[in-house]
Chains A and B, each alone.
Chain A
Amino acid sequence: MRAVAAAAVAIAALALPASAATPPTRTPGVLMVALQMPSAGFQVGIVRGRTVLLARGLEVDLATQVAKLLGLRARFQNEPSFSRLVKLGPNDWDAAVAQISVTPDRARKVDFSTPYFQADQGVLVRVGVKPVPRSIAALRKLVLCAQRGTTGGAIVTNRIKPTRKPLFPVDVSVLLYDLFAKRCEAIVFDASTLAVLRREAPDRYGPLVGRIPTRERYAIAFEKGSPLRARVDAALQAISRDGTLARLRHRWLGADTAKLPVLR
């Protein structure tokens, strides 16, 4: 997948000089970006209906930078259901940036940019859970939760296979609420996001016990056949090459989660 995308970038870079006209978007001059709030470190803000205010985070800055390189202004709207970000068919946004990992199934419904982030899943335990789980076998005995339709959910179902019924809320806020409300003993979610959550409010969470390597790659999603993809790929490659992407990662996520112990 990645090799194909890289080849597309190279062709696009040759075919589209920097001075090319601004790409076609739903609203001229505007790149309408779909987010799915919140995800600590990646995208947080205020949501009013679908309008997003005060958006912050790695993916917000990433989309802003990409839009700028395309000669566009980024605007954001919230899409509360993750599955709608990767559905087949038309949308009312130009691109979706929401920790969407590239999978063959999703790639049949949407086009993906070249990836901008490689992630693993992490396991964050509720305060007070004893003994602290340090293995997949120990996790199996807990009430686990993950966001529905995500890699974390698939890991719970297919890899950990818990003996107690897991919960799969649609919304990230509900996922965290379930953890606070003691309906979950541990949650499985993007390791970098969990690390940011724990760092910002260490008293609210138990330990981030480790990661389950998935090596999934996050990419920007477009409608099938979107003319934006090649231009966005070129922009992503540019901000990766000049160090902007690395700076954003450091600013918003901080520590490298690759140092977390691997859960086996």
Chain B
Amino acid sequence: MPARLCVTAALCAAVVLPPAAAAPRAATVKVAFLQGEQVVYVDRPGSNVAAAVRGLLAGPTGTEKAQGIKSQLPAATPLRGISVRGGVATIDVGIKFASGSRAESLTARVAQLVLTATRVPNVRSVRLLVKGGTPLGLFPGILASFPLTAKSVTAPPRMAPPAPAAQQPKPPSAVTRAIQQRLADLGFMRADEVDGRPGPRTTSAVVAFQKWSGLGRDGVVGPATRTALDSAARPTPTRPGAGHRVEVLLDRQLTLVIDGARVTRILDVSSGKPGYDTPAGSWKVFRKEARSWSVPYRVWLPWASYFVGGVAFHEYPDVPPAPASHGCVRVPRWDAHWLYTQTPVGTLVTVIGRSR
């Protein structure tokens, strides 16, 4: 069955289209899985909450997994019982549901269960039981001794994302300015960022250059990086194409912003870690959120441009040299807004596994 995806509970009604024709169609329920930083819904056969929860516990299909769709529910978690009374679905799952100690996984699996059940008509909330008992304190930030509504697991906090810590600028130097200018000439920095002051922007640009050049990703301009910088040419697109577009190079952990045959910028990014791989393929930006909230992982994602399911470019405070995200493409703070302006809805995003 082809996956019919939509992102976040609130938007699903708008994103999942009804069947094109009026032909009879088997009843389906929506099951909440995860892709990137968001919840996505896929169809499963059935018409009631039991079918939906069984579909959730069964996990994504192989095809869905290939698209980066995941579940945080432990495999083979049994359903011990389910009933609905007065709009409250009492769902009793096996003890595996509460296994593990990673807070993000524990809270995400409760969100999946609640969002799956409450997508079924006439189910407003979920009373969660694990092996017949009430889980107390096992799911961080979730009070499972009370019925859980979709809102209780999706609502963002009424506070803005934390502001990044202010850093004292370091004094400028001619050496740093020369390196920055070279990086800007090659497309690894913006011209307006050349100020001669060392700092995380410059380090990130050096790392991006090292990634492109196949050098060690330490952000330090040592002899090898210096030599490579002196002889380097501006990167070129790794795939043929026309117009304004973006390439994400998973093997090099870089994003290229391209106009025609010219790469205008090369950005240091971090994509999905093993097991959360950013799905390769050609996608288009379909939704933009200046301040996005990750429902399953409960974290702010500023300057988010979604291009497949719950996978987006977004700002993140930590962009290590290696893949580290839940499937999204993390962009450093100083580049995130710029990339956001460069990726309007409809922008082609090609995610490439092997770019060399």
Contacts and interface: CB of A to CB of B under 8 A. Distances in A.
Interface residues of A, number: 27
A201 B108 CA distance: 12
A201 B140 contact: yes
A37 B159 contact: no
B139 to A, nearest CB: 9
Given A53-B95, A177-B146, A180-B143, A47 B134 contact: yes
A108 to B, nearest CB: 30
Interface stretch (A38-46, A94-102, A215-223, A254-262): A38-46
A210 B101 CA distance: 27
A204 interface: yes
Contacts of A40: 137, 140
Contact of A44 (B95, B107, B138): B138
B154 to A, nearest CB: 12
B146 A46 contact: no
Contacts of B141: 197, 200-201, 203-205
Contacts of A164: none
Contacts of B137: 37-40, 43-45
A39 to B, nearest CB: 7
Interface string A38-68: 1110011111110101101000000000000
Interface stretch (B38-46, B125-133, B230-238, B270-278): B125-133
Chain B, interface residues (CB within 8 Å), range: 20 to 34
Contacts of A46: 95, 98, 130-131, 133-136, 138
A200 B146 contact: no
A163 B143 CA distance: 29
Kindly name the residue among A49, A51, A53, A205 whose own CB sees the greatest number of chain B CB atoms within 10 A.
A53
A39 B136 CA distance: 9
B355 interface: no
Interface in B299-343: 299
Kindly name the residue among B131, B135, B159 whose own CB sees the greatest number of chain A CB atoms within 10 A.
B135
B136 A53 contact: no
B129 to A, nearest CB: 8
A95 to B, nearest CB: 20
A45 B98 CA distance: 9
Contacts, number: 78
B65 interface: no
B299 to A, nearest CB: 8
B354 interface: no
A54 B140 contact: no
A72 interface: no
Kindly name the residue among B137, B146, B156, B159 whose own CB sees the greatest number of chain A CB atoms within 10 A.
B137
Given A173-B145, A201-B103, A48 B136 contact: no
B131 A53 contact: yes
Contact of B107 (A128, A177, A201): A201
A157 to B, nearest CB: 25
A173 B298 CA distance: 21
Nearest to A78: B136
Interface string B133-164: 11111101111011000000000111100000
Contacts of A127: 157-159
Contacts of B101: 56
A204 to B, nearest CB: 4
A250 B85 CA distance: 44
Contacts of A200: 103, 140-141
Contact of B98 (A38, A54, A177): A54
A230 B130 CA distance: 37
A197 B140 CA distance: 7
A33 interface: no
A48 B158 contact: no
A232 interface: no
B280 to A, nearest CB: 32
A58 to B, nearest CB: 12
Given A45-B136, A48-B133, A203-B298, A177 B159 contact: no
Given A177-B143, A201-B107, A204-B157, A48 B134 contact: yes
Nearest to B134: A47
B138 A48 contact: no
A48 B80 CA distance: 14
B138 A45 contact: yes
Interface of A: 37-40, 43-49, 51, 53-54, 56, 127-128, 173, 176-177, 180, 197, 200-201, 203-205
Given A46-B130, A54-B130, 9 more contacts: A38-B138, A39-B137, A46-B134, A47-B136, A197-B141, A201-B103, A201-B141, A204-B141, A204-B157
12 contacts: A38-B136, A39-B137, A45-B136, A46-B131, A47-B136, A127-B158, A173-B136, A200-B103, A203-B141, A203-B159, A203-B298, A204-B157
Nearest first, the 4 closest Cβ-Cβ pairs linking A and B are: A201-B141, A38-B137, A44-B137, A48-B133
